[in-house]
């Protein structure tokens, strides 16, 4: 069955970095586009970034452009999100989601606080 | 990035029908349609309808989606207590080259 498990969240100070990962199994990882979507406490969903099936195309929300980098390792069936220069407003649960939003991980929590 | 517009809340009675709306523009909803997601408190979102208005396997026939120009709609018939949740729409915006989400609608089943 399809499984997607995020990891790498934690508490970090503003300006620091964090790297999230999403380990997947149960399907052909290299055939799909993937998203990162986040949800701040008590707020709605916010799309963060997308990477194409082969990693050549990447798109970002304006709020993270220039600070976050999405990547993937098709040999390890893993999606990544490198988050640099973190801000308090980046505090959220970060979800990975498959191409059509048909499968989601349970999320990993990122808290940016001094 | 401008998002899609959803009413913050909708309340309907048990076994009634609720229609949730999601308004965008020609570059997003009007272009390729919207997906609909359901999220219960403390859980990840779940896909209810693809952009082509088709339901994934396992999703009840009580959920149906449609689109009229730049507004997507999700209709839920025969409301059940378990339908009480937050509902989000999302669409690819070809001008922004980004996915945009609606703010979500909290559905209350009375």
Residue B58: what pLDDT?
A: 92
Q: Using 70 as the pLDDT threshold, list the residues of chain B that sit under it.
A: 1-2
- Chain B's closest residue to A6, CA to CA, is B44
CA atoms lying within 13 Å on the CB side of residue B105: 27
Residue B74: what pLDDT?
A: 96
Q: Do B45 and A95 touch (CB under 8 A)?
A: yes
| Cβ-Cβ contacts under 8 Å, A45 against chain B | 37, 39, 45, 88, 90, 101, 104
Tens-level pLDDT at each residue, chain A (114 residues): 999 999 999 999 999 999 999 999 999 999 999 999 999 999 999 999 999 999 999 999 999 999 999 999 999 999 999 999 999 999 999 999 999 999 999 999 999 999
Question: Exposed, middle or buried by CB within 10 Å (0-12, 13-18, 19+), for A77?
Answer: middle
Buried b (16+ CB within 10 A) or exposed e, A53-62: beeeeebbbe
Residue B1: what pLDDT?
A: 60
Closest C-alpha among B85, B90, B92 to residue B101? B90
- Which helix (H) or strand (E) element contains residue A3? strand A3-7
Q: How many CB atoms lie within 10 A of CB B25?
A: 17
Question: Exposed, middle or buried by CB within 10 Å (0-12, 13-18, 19+), for A38?
Answer: buried
Q: Do B86 and A59 touch (CB under 8 A)?
A: no
Residue B2: what pLDDT?
A: 65
Residue B52: what pLDDT?
A: 81
Q: Find the CB nearest B104 among A44, A50, A97.
A: A44
Q: Do B35 and A100 touch (CB under 8 A)?
A: yes
């Amino acid at each position: 069955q399809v499984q997607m498990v995020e990891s790498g969240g934690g508490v970090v100070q503003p300006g620091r970095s964090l790297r999230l990962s999403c380990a997947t199994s149960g399907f052909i990882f290299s055939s799909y586009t993937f998203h990162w979507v986040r949800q701040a406490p008590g707020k709605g969903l916010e799309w963060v970034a997308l990477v194409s099936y082969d990693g050549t195309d990447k798109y970002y929300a304006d709020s993270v452009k220039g600070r976050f980098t999405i990547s993937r390792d098709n040999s390890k069936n893993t999606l990544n999100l490198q988050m640099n220069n973190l801000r308090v407003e980046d505090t959220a649960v970060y979800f990975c989601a498959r191409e059509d939003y048909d499968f989601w991980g349970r999320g990993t929590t990122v808290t940016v606080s001094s | 990035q401008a998002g899609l517009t959803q009413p913050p809340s909708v309340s309907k009675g048990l076994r009634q029908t609720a229609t949730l709306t999601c308004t965008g523009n020609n570059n997003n909803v009007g272009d390729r349609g919207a997906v609909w997601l359901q999220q219960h408190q403390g859980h990840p979102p779940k896909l209810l309808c693809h952009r082509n208005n088709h339901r994934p396997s396992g999703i009840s026939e009580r959920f149906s989606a449609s689109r009229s120009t730049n507004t997507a709609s999700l209709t839920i018939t025969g409301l059940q207590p378990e339908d009480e949740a937050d509902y989000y729409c999302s669409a690819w915006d070809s001008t922004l080259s980004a996915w945009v989400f609606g703010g979500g609608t909290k559905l209350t089943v009375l």
